[in-house]
Amino acid sequence: MIDDILDRMTLEEQVSLLSGADFWTTAPIERLGVPKIKVTDGPNGARGAGSLVAGVNAACFPVAIALGATWNPALVERMGVALAGQAKSKGASVLLAPTVNIHRSGLNGRNFECYSEDPVLTAALAVAYIQGVQGQGIAATIKHFAGNESEIERQTMSSDIGERALREIYLPPFEQAVKKAGVMAVMSSYNRLNGTYTSEHPWLLTKVLREEWGFDGIVMSDWFGSHSTAASVNAGLDLEMPGPTRDRGEKLVAAVRSGDVKPEIVREAARRILALIERVGAFEKAPDLSEHALDLPDDRALIRQLGAEGAVLLKNDGILPLAKAGLGHVAVIGPNAAEARVMGGGSAQIAAHYRISPLEGIRQALSNANSIHHAVGCRNNRLVNVFSGEIRVEYFSGRDLAGPAVVAEAASKGEFFWFDLPSLELDPNDFSARISASYSPAESGEHVFGMTNAGLARLYVDGELVVNGYDGWTRGDNYFGTANVEQRQSVHLEAGQRYQVVVEYCSSATSEEGINLTAVRFGVEKPLGEDAMLDAVERAENADVVLLFVGRDGEWDTEGLDLPDMRLPGRQEELIERVAAVNANVIVVLQTGGPVEMPWLDKVRAVLQMWYPGQELGHAVADVLFGDVEPGGRLPQTFPKRLSDNSAMTGDPHVYPGKDGHVRYDEGVFVGYRHHDAHGIEPLFPFGFGLGYTHFSWGEAKASSTKMEADGMTITVDVTNIGDKSGSELVQLYVRPLASTIERPEKELRAFAKLRLEPGETGTASLVVRPRDLSYFDDATKTFRAAAGRYELLAAANAADIRSVVTIELANDWTGELSDRSI
């Protein structure tokens, strides 16, 4: 069928398939019965075609680092199945996920959106996720291919990575997604790789991906992430997104006519687009692109289970789990207590069905006579609190708010991210909007108004210009680098008085530079001062136990910018210190997208890392704190004691954050725990670490053979739950070469198994290793090689806790070809 369609297509029609029709759909060819299909973000939910901050509600699942902390591929596969159903509810045939870039540093803004610092763990979870999604007829899109480990200047930065590091650390998740999961789509990254944009990188897209790995799906650009006509098509980029086209269409037809692009290259790219449409069943039944909310009890339960499974108990002196019976005064304190921080920022955002805050979850769990007191203490928001209330938005043609409004609508939140405008009469590149609301403060005093805008905007209070986001506008760090740095201004307001707040917005002129978006966000807040801190300390002093919720939110952990440091923002460290000084029973619950420094660690009794676990946050955290379920997570990323202990933080700006358009991955393969091992740096918490509510005894590791066989060997470890509660234990298997002529990590994760055991129950972890697991990538021969000799297989509870060792022998040198499909 596909050949017949291709034969009947004109060149122009073939070319039309190679760019999106609009922001979210591919181009149809109606005369040949080729339908359009819709794609949707993202990794922790299916948003549909709505705005990043609005649109039809969807189930909000845990972010990827929380999934990484589960070390549970079977559970992640179940999430993939659920996400496929969510994608269908949004009329989508393609899910733009998973994200498998590596945790190179602790500062990457999208650290939360990626699974791990280790390629084996990342690959195992990605394969499971893809199999879950694609088993339901929805295509998965693995991203970002490749070298996108930082958000700084990501649209132009060249990630300069040696081939060995690429082959051993950064490419294996993509490789296994192709070879094991048959992923249907790959998304190229924004950045350059060793000087060449990945969207026009022949070695990456054709030699490695298609010729070596045998990939037969489509390669699409990240949004606005392609930069050329002939170069991108010739390199193997099939689909330019979003539409309408910028570099294809008539430009590509002309490139074919001039001989810059061979017609057979266009035909093969069009074939792959048609094959994708066929694989998702769109030829059999044209997709219904309409959207609806799908709120299922099974999804709710799975999200809650995943939240607890990924929760990592970092410290516990016995205070946890808390007994509900007899629990007296409970202080629930901190900026993340009453706010439901359920997801990170950027393109992973969705409009969640609901958000259960920790305070709400704890109140439901302690619905008896327990006394619960709440205090904020301090703020941790990066941007001024977004405006909330009744809002009217009037839209005008042109940039000067002239003439009658084309359309008007109501809103309830002062944030607008316009993928699609409310009327077809409006031109996204030439419109304006008047956003009107009123604000009545609860307290008198200085209030801060803030605004950030992609486009130009001014904010007025009672007719007076307060925030100027128009004159002198320059790109900053918001909305993926398309908006200015938030502009702020203090105004004295009187309690109970009603103030008129008006934002006048206009789209900016179209630019050829990078991403062009239209968005505005405005807010107002009364800054918290010493009184708020004293209130939190007073409530803590009079409590039997303090649950202190601190961390970050999606304004910090977000696409488009990296973190400034690895400390808790605002006065949160001070809050912990002052609360701990008046109460000996403090439990800190962290919500971050990666590691943080903990100078206060010795002053609290327990620390629980919850990440951003989705819409069931409050229920999941209460389940863990009160022992209804165990904290099942183990760290997918090393938590260093200080930022300078990280492998990328050498002090050389060429290594991080980059300089003169290049960032050098000088650490090579020594990322995460590999770096800590090589330099003898003790981490705060090692890779794979996590506590539970029970205890286990381990038997000695046993190997099926003392010699590595061609098809691999099996290592087994018996584990017994010797405690009085059910729980899970993670068995990790590392490989250590005993002799090597090249520099290699001391040990490398090669397999893992998670066992859930009842009290007194014994289970067996069965772990398979193969010859490639003993190997390294040889730059000289361009092959994976393992030298004959002895290797140790280390059975470990985490990277710093080796329980037993098995020594095996590889009788002969082993060489693995890059096209080997048996990995």
> Are the C-beta atoms of residues 551 and 568 closer than 8 Å to each other?
yes
Burial (Cβ within 10 Å: 0-12, 13-18, ≥19) of residue 398 = middle
Number of neighbouring beta carbons within 10 Å of residue 81: 18
Structure tokens, 630:
């165990």
What is the distance between the alpha carbons of residues 483 and 465, in angstroms, rounded to a whole number?
A: 20
Please give the sequence-ordered ranges of beta strands (E in DSSP) within 509-645, or none if there are none: 519-525, 545-551, 586-591, 606-609
Residue 74: helix, strand or coil by DSSP?
helix
Give the distance, in angstroms, between the CA of residue 438 and the centroid of all CA atoms in the same chain: 36
**Nearest-angstrom CA–CA distance, 764 and 211:** 39
Instruction: Please state, in angstroms and as integers, the Cα–Cα distance from residue 296 to each residue in 33, 83, 166, 620, following that order.
Output: 34, 12, 41, 17
Tell me whether the omega of the peptide bond preceding residue 144 falls within 30 degrees of 0, making it cis: yes
Q: Identify whether the C-beta of residue 450 lies closer than 8 Å to the C-beta of residue 384.
A: yes
CA gap 439, 820 in Å, rounded: 64
Residue 800: strand, helix, or coil:
coil
Mode of pairing for the β-strands spanning 487-493 and 445-454: antiparallel
Buried-exposed string 500-536: b where 16+ CB fall within 10 A, e elsewhere:
ebbbbbbbbeeeeebbbbbbbbbbbbbebeeebbebb
User: What is the length of the chain?
Assistant: 823
Q: What is the CB neighbour count within 10 angstroms for residue 399?
A: 18
C-alpha 201/C-alpha 345 separation (Å) is: 29
Cβ atoms of 681 and 640 closer than 8 Å: yes
Residue 89, classed as helix, strand or coil, is helix
Of 159, 119, 116, give the one whose Cα is nearest residue 777.
Answer: 119
222 is catalytic: yes
- First and final CA of the chain: distance in angstroms? 33
Within 8 A by CB and 6+ apart from 693, the residues are 320, 321, 627, 630, 631, 723, 725, 727
Amino acid 197 reads Y
3-state secondary structure (DSSP) of residue 537: helix
* Lookup: tokens for 221: 């650009």
Instruction: Determine the residue type at 282.
Output: A
| Phi/psi of residue 226, nearest 5 degrees | -110, 155
Distances (CA, A) of 425 to 38, 55, 71, 397, 646: 23, 20, 50, 8, 52
Give 664's strand partners: 160
Identify the DSSP state of 211.
I
Residue with tokens 């609005």: 54
Q: Which residues have a Cβ under 8 Å from the Cβ of 776 and sit 6 or more positions away?
A: 164, 168, 740, 742, 744, 784, 785, 786
Question: How far from the centroid of its chain's Cα atoms is residue 134's Cα?
Answer: 20
CB-based contact 377:513 (threshold 8 Å): no
Q: Phi and psi of 685, rounded to 5°?
A: -140, 130
| Residue whose pair of structure tokens reads 């924004």 in the numeric block | 190
Answer whether 131's CB lies under 8 Å from 181's CB: yes
Exposed, middle or buried, 639 (CB in 10 Å: 0-12/13-18/19+)?
A: buried
Sign of CA dihedral 36, 42, 46, 47: negative
From 118, 222, 247, 553, the catalytic residue: 222
Catalytic residues: 222
